[in-house]
Chain A
């Protein structure tokens, strides 16, 4: 199994530039999550999708952040314009949602540095 795939693994950009992070969930999973991890705040949920539909985006810090899931096998998280405080590790996770609590499978993350 390929697991959750994220690209790029590392991104270094300058303030004001647009950044796009990509995620391919595990085949057959119908829920996808974007998280951000920092030393100060830990792992925070940004947004999640069920069956390609955004369910909760209350964790998205501001309008500079947007996420899409055009089909079951692909999602993007875009930051425009980027700022130094956006520097963090961004994780994508997926699962099969159901009645019981379902474990989420995480990708390797994208380390973003905004200069």
Chain B
């Protein structure tokens, strides 16, 4: 069964304190792995797509990496505006266009 597990469930950081969020996945052939950001009361907002092991993508203070079993979202010198829930999702080759989401990591950054 295709599955996505994110850890930790919640993470509290001080402004400037770098850290990483983890997304472990089990999927029968990976077509793509997605990271989304979700703010309270809003829909998920797309951040990155990773297609193959070894791939990396960056956007401002965020950097996503991918291995054959997991993905990391590295947050460098976070700011309070980075506070949100970060969702990881996978698309399997046999799943058509459907995504399987993890339950997310809620990040709080205090100044």
Residues of A within 8 A of B (CB): 4, 31, 33, 41-45, 48, 50, 55-56, 91, 93, 95, 97, 100-109
Chain B residues near A41 (CB, 8 Å)? 103
A55 to B30, CA, bound (A): 20
Residues of B within 8 A of A (CB): 31-32, 34, 36, 41-46, 49, 51, 87, 91, 96-104
Flag if B98 contacts A48 (CB, 8 Å): yes
A18 to B32, CA, bound (A): 37
Flag if A108 contacts B43 (CB, 8 Å): yes
Flag if B31 contacts A56 (CB, 8 Å): no
Chain B residues near A4 (CB, 8 Å)? 43
Which of A42, A55, A106 lies in contact with B43, CB distance below 8 A?
Answer: A106
Which of B51, B96, B101 lies in contact with A48, CB distance below 8 A?
Answer: B96
B73 → chain A closest CB, angstroms: 16
Flag if A107 contacts B43 (CB, 8 Å): yes
Chain A residue with the shortest CB-CB distance to B46: A103
Which of A43, A45, A93, A101 lies in contact with B49, CB distance below 8 A?
Answer: A101
Chain B residues near A105 (CB, 8 Å)? 46
A86 → chain B closest CB, angstroms: 19
Chain B residue with the shortest CB-CB distance to A107: B43
Q: What are 20 A-B pairs with beta-carbon distances under 8 A?
A: A33-B98, A41-B103, A43-B87, A45-B98, A45-B99, A55-B96, A55-B97, A56-B98, A91-B43, A91-B44, A95-B97, A97-B96, A97-B97, A100-B32, A101-B31, A104-B34, A104-B46, A106-B43, A107-B43, A108-B42
Chain A residues near B96 (CB, 8 Å)? 48, 50, 55-56, 97
Which of A44, A101, A108 lies in contact with B91, CB distance below 8 A?
Answer: A101
Chain A residues near B87 (CB, 8 Å)? 43
Chain B residue with the shortest CB-CB distance to A31: B97
A112 to B25, CA, bound (A): 30
B98 → chain A closest CB, angstroms: 6
